[in-house]
């Protein structure tokens, strides 16, 4: 049952990511936004770079790089998962799901669709992001927390 859940969760995360992106593409013109309040807007922007829109116009490079990293992480997770805590496995599933969600965009749309825009008025805005980005960030944060505080194999030295 656990292994089925490990397959179902990434599918749910990827579907949620892709459905929200499709809703944005269909309902908000490119480079447009809907301001909900001073703190939150829904936008439709594309990102051919990585986090914070760094290294723009390198989509092919990132398709190859992300594909290789995903293959490695999936292989590592399947091969050595007995050494991981449940938290670490779920963290890796978040990271893989987010990577696949954004990889789908890169391959089929030519850029990652970002749509969540938060900040304060026009004084400070965080770079737009999406659900896949959130999965990766939460996954990495949980991996770090789990390694620091909840690792199965504690070093007694």
Active-site residue set: 114, 133
- Rounded to an integer, what distance in angstroms lies between the CA atom of residue 119 and that of residue 37? 10
Name the region of 31 (left: φ>0; alpha: ψ -120 to 50; beta: rest).
left
- Rounded to an integer, what distance in angstroms lies between the CA atom of residue 128 and that of residue 43? 8
| Nearest alpha-carbon partner for 48 in 33, 35, 26, 66 | 66
- Rounded to an integer, what distance in angstroms lies between the CA atom of residue 72 and that of residue 149? 25
């Amino acid at each position: 049952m656990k292994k089925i859940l490990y397959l179902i969760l990434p599918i749910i995360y990827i579907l949620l990511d892709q459905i929200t992106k499709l809703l944005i593409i269909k309902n908000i013109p490119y480079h447009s936004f809907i301001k909900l309040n001073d703190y939150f807007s829904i936008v439709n922007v594309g990102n051919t770079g990585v986090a914070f829109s760094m290294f723009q116009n390198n989509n092919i490079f990132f398709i190859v790089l992300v594909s290789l990293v995903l293959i490695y992480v999936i292989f590592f997770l399947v091969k050595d998962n007995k050494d991981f805590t449940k938290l670490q496995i779920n963290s890796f599933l978040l990271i893989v799901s987010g990577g696949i969600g954004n990889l789908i965009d890169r391959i089929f749309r030519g850029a990652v669709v970002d749509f969540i825009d938060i900040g304060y008025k026009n004084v400070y805005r965080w770079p737009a992001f999406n659900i896949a980005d959130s999965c990766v960030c939460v996954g990495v944060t949980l991996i770090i927390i789990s390694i620091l505080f909840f690792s199965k194999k504690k070093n007694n030295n």
